[in-house]
Structure 1
Amino acid sequence: MTLMSVTDSVFLAVETREHPMHVGGLELFTPPADAGPDYPRDLRAALLRHTDARPVFRRHPANPVSTRGYVAWAEDTELELDYHFRHSALPGPGRVRELLEVTSRWHSTPLDRHRPLWEIHLVEGLQDGRFAMYSKIHHALMDGVSALRQLRGVLSTDPDARDCPPPWGSPPSAEGRTGSPRRGFLHGLPVPDPRRLVRTGRATVGQLAGLAPMATRVATEAWREHRLTLPLRAPKTMLNVPIGGARRFAAESWERTRIAHVAHAARVSSNDIVLAMCSGALRTYLTEHGALPDEPLVAMVPVSLRGRTEAGATSGNRIGAILCDLGTHLADPTARLSRVARSMADGKRLFSDLTPIQALVLSAFNVAPLAATPLPGFVEHTRPPFNIVISNVPGPRERLYFNGARLDGIYPASVLLDGQALNITFTNGPTTLDCGITGCRRSVPHLQRLLGHLEQSLADLECAVA
């Protein structure tokens, strides 16, 4: 058995039927030109012959139904790949609508804790000849960004390559490695360097000492200058209610050149345009349901802040949780975009001046109220820390293939929590911006309409900057 980290244990402990804690993704593929009618079945049969799964794909809780907490992982030594890798066909007429409907059902179902915590569904029957793969893995094993990296690791830039391993396998470059362990490693594990530990300890003490000045600065900018958005200041909306276990999932793609053109004309970032698209779509959606609040909605936006103040490429990644004013109370798309851009600029400017630990503390402060959502009555009787999570995850910037099949899109399916009934996540492909929207089936009716609203919101921005 392997000891479980505290974070992994928490993801398992908070999971209920209403709150499945897996992340997922839907990938669309165009088969190679020489593919026959049995291509999906033959592909699955070929992949099932790869029985050497990575350790993370063999793990399940040592005590699946323990009431004493989850403290260790057990390894499945007889992994039943036929159970985890499933083959399905869409009902007629095989539209994307049918694909999204079955994806919604699969994403609603918790994973079996007596088995390794992942599933992959190979789906054929799309009327345009393409096939899809929907995968989900428990957040205790892998987060969404790591899952995307795992997918990219088994794909190839060569359309003629036919040796891509399955998603549970290791990339070709990692297979068959032999030789002596690397210096600084013992039995494959890193050996701590005492001198580095001392330097790290001194740096950490210095960063912690700066927390008080950081708190003073945050308070000044938030309350006196009104330049920062704080948690628990977002308005109450129909999206911030207790949720059920059933999900809806919708997906769409936009050409990245459209977003880039608007961003260039408006002199803002592409991420600002994406947030403004969401702002306009949410405003229209809530107006349709007579639920648009007078105050602007607030989005929690995970952003990478690597290298803003550090010199060199070895500074590592810095992730911040910025609260963004979406300006949904404003009817003019240009005014909404300006509000979004200013809010994001203020948040990034503050984070860029912080040390990694200080940035982590501030981010934790922004999302900390979510920890209280399981408490009875908390969601119903308090303001939400924010109204929605909107993420823009870097994706592959070059065309990728899976055993000859061209990857056409990656659409993330995310975790929902009480008080957070809707999530919008984007990935950047070589030519497209791919969007996956996950919503509580009961609390977010007609979820698919948000796709049309996003398109209209982008068209409004295009007209506004023309």
Structure 2
Amino acid sequence: MPVTDSIFLFAESREHPMHVGSVQLYTPPEDAGPDYVADLYARMVASTDVDPLFRRRPGDPVASLGHVWWTVDRDIDLDYHVRHSALPAPGRLRELFALVSRLHSTLLDRHRPLWEMYLIEGLADGRFAWYSKVHHSLLDGVSALQLLQRTLTADPEDDEPHVPWHLSRRGAPAGSGNGSSGSLLGSAWSLTGDLVGAVPAAMRIGRLAVGPHEVALPYEAPRTMFNVPIGGARRFAAQSWSRERIERVRRAADVTGNDVVLAMCAGALRAYLSEHDALPDEPLIAMVPVSLRPKDRPGDGGNSVGVTLCNLGTDHADPLDRVAVIAASMEQGKALFGDMTVLQSLAWSGLTISPLGLASVPGFVRLTPPPFNIIVSNVPGPRKPLYWSGSRLDGIYPTSVVMDGQALNITVTNTATTVDFGVVGCRRTVPSLQRIVLHLHDSLLELEAALQLS
């Protein structure tokens, strides 16, 4: 088991579940009957051919050796891993998100492969939902979303319920390691180049740290109400906005779409903290994950994610000032890491997030400054309308990880027509979390008004 995967098993505890997932909303076809979802479930659990990735569990789940290697189970109890649920009346999104909040709070069983999926009906508007949770040691967020997309089709007439645990697998990519002396020598030579190249990269970061800079660096973040020890219960909220609205703001502000997403988050966080009389004078710093996975290997398991830090400009009242700060910070961050290899990027990213590994040490979070204030991820989603067993995909809402010192997480993806925000927080330390979704909406309105788009 690679270290990048096992770290999520080492870090997990009852207070810190380490699984990622998402909630997908679907509109059934017009001719769907009352038993449509029940029939879907029956057909899904009948797909008993399970790919090796979904057979993995820790080699010894009750000892530290379970963090070192995987065991592949031969028999998979799909009735356990795949569950059929229904919402109580009145079947609003509020009831759906309350159910997801509870499901997302519970640990995955390490004596079984580390995934669960729930088909949920009972929404008053006739739609149904699909909630998945997969341990971060198996898949990172980008891989999980790409795996989901492989179950979808552009054909609304395709009524086959494709399932993520049984998809056509590609062969090993050309040049993948096979234990030969040539591949080992190649890896050693590549590692040598990475280490040599890391020296000028380190010098570049060092010069930046002591001079004026727009990019955020670790430990420049103020302490906030989010940077405290947390409990195990979670709260989840979500909302979609039109991709066209986000695109209009992007064009008018002459920034990237990710800059607009970060600006919406910055405005929402500023408003939320102000409500609680907890807005610091210094700007909040967001940790922004960046996928390092090769584009020709999107569905591989494991983790390949780097990070950069972004100044959110929350000390500015003007939304356009915040956008300018965010764009400059992200641009300098890209330039800083642009010349690094994947291994170098992972190494520097590891240094950035390494304090999180000590968060469980008693007193560490309370006595040390936070390396950053919040994690904000933007994971690319589908660009065209997609369907699952004839049902139209209406939204994808990511459900991610929070931990000691990082009580709030905002993850964003998209469908063909929407930009979808999933917000996860510690139930105890982030009160009225749904208010953040309302502030995201207000923040977008502020941007549109400032750019005279209203």
Say whether the fold is shared (TM-score over 0.5): yes
Q: 1:102 aligns with which of 78, 85, 99?
A: 99
Q: Which residue of 2 aligns with 1:310?
A: none
Residues 184, 190 of structure 1: 8 Å contact kept = no
> Which range moves more in the overlay, 340-349 or 52-61?
52-61
Is 1:201 the equivalent of 2:188?
yes
Alpha carbons of structure 1 residues 184 and 218: separation in structure 2 relative to 1, 3 Å: closer
Task: State the SS of the aligned residue for 2:189.
Answer: helix
Once the two structures are TM-superposed, the CA of residue 400 in structure 1 deviates from its matched residue by: 1.2
Once the two structures are TM-superposed, the CA of residue 144 in structure 1 deviates from its matched residue by: 1.6
Structure 2 stretches of 5 or more lacking a match?
A: none
Is 1:123 the equivalent of 2:97?
no
Residues 252, 436 of structure 1: 8 Å contact kept = yes
Q: Which residue of 2 aligns with 1:43?
A: 40
Deviations 1:396-431 (CA, angstroms, capped at 9, x unpaired): 111111111111111110011110000000002211
Residues 153, 386 of structure 2: 8 Å contact kept = yes
**How far apart are the structure 2 equivalents of 1:157 and 1:315?**
21
Q: Which residue of 1 aligns with 2:330?
A: 344
Alpha carbons of structure 1 residues 298 and 36: separation in structure 2 relative to 1, 3 Å: same
**How far apart are the structure 2 equivalents of 1:343 and 1:182?**
38
Q: 1:238 aligns with which of 221, 225, 250?
A: 225
Percent identical pairs in the alignment equals 56
Q: Which residue of 1 aligns with 2:287?
A: 300
Q: Which residue of 1 aligns with 2:261?
A: 274
Letter in 2 for 1:207: D
Is 1:257 the equivalent of 2:244?
yes
Q: Which residue of 2 aligns with 1:416?
A: 402
**How far apart are the structure 1 equivalents of 2:337 and 2:68?**
34
Task: State the SS of the aligned residue for 2:290.
Answer: strand
**How far apart are the structure 2 equivalents of 1:401 and 1:227?**
42
Deviations 1:235-276 (CA, angstroms, capped at 9, x unpaired): 000000001000000111111111111111111111111101
**How far apart are the structure 2 equivalents of 1:338 and 1:102?**
39
Letter in 2 for 1:463: A
Q: How does 1:38-437 map to 2 (within 5 A)?
A: 38-66=35-63, 69-171=66-168, 174=169, 191-192=178-179, 194-195=181-182, 197-304=184-291, 320-437=306-423
Task: State the SS of the aligned residue for 1:236.
Answer: coil
Q: Taking structure 2 as the reference length, what is the TM-score of the superposition?
A: 0.93
Once the two structures are TM-superposed, the CA of residue 154 in structure 1 deviates from its matched residue by: 1.5
**How far apart are the structure 2 equivalents of 1:399 and 1:273?**
23
**How far apart are the structure 1 equivalents of 2:97 and 2:206?**
44
Q: Which residue of 1 aligns with 2:29?
A: 32
Letter in 2 for 1:76: D
Task: State the SS of the aligned residue for 2:67.
Answer: coil
Q: Taking structure 1 as the reference length, what is the TM-score of the superposition?
A: 0.90
Deviations 1:304-329 (CA, angstroms, capped at 9, x unpaired): 5799xxxxx88999954111000111
Letter in 2 for 1:167: P
Cα RMSD (Å) = 2.4
**How far apart are the structure 2 equivalents of 1:319 and 1:183?**
20
**How far apart are the structure 1 equivalents of 2:133 and 2:86?**
18
Once the two structures are TM-superposed, the CA of residue 212 in structure 1 deviates from its matched residue by: 2.5
Once the two structures are TM-superposed, the CA of residue 193 in structure 1 deviates from its matched residue by: 5.9
> Which range moves more in the overlay, 225-234 or 423-432?
225-234
Q: Which residue of 2 aligns with 1:440?
A: 426
Letter in 1 for 2:77: E
**How far apart are the structure 2 equivalents of 1:241 and 1:263?**
34
Letter in 1 for 2:405: G
**How far apart are the structure 2 equivalents of 1:315 and 1:130?**
33
Residues 313, 322 of structure 2: 8 Å contact kept = yes
Letter in 1 for 2:264: M
**How far apart are the structure 2 equivalents of 1:238 and 1:364?**
24
Greater Rg by CA: 1
**How far apart are the structure 1 equivalents of 2:173 and 2:19?**
36
Alpha carbons of structure 1 residues 197 and 251: separation in structure 2 relative to 1, 3 Å: same
Task: State the SS of the aligned residue for 2:130.
Answer: strand
Task: State the SS of the aligned residue for 2:422.
Answer: strand
Residues 18, 246 of structure 1: 8 Å contact kept = yes
**How far apart are the structure 2 equivalents of 1:221 and 1:67?**
40
Residues 214, 325 of structure 2: 8 Å contact kept = no
**How far apart are the structure 2 equivalents of 1:136 and 1:437?**
15
**How far apart are the structure 2 equivalents of 1:183 and 1:166?**
23
**How far apart are the structure 2 equivalents of 1:315 and 1:106?**
30
Is 1:461 the equivalent of 2:447?
yes
Letter in 1 for 2:228: V
Alpha carbons of structure 1 residues 182 and 37: separation in structure 2 relative to 1, 3 Å: closer
Structure 1 stretches of 5 or more lacking a match?
A: 308-312
**How far apart are the structure 2 equivalents of 1:295 and 1:234?**
8
Deviations 1:273-298 (CA, angstroms, capped at 9, x unpaired): 11010000000000000100011000
**How far apart are the structure 2 equivalents of 1:182 and 1:417?**
35
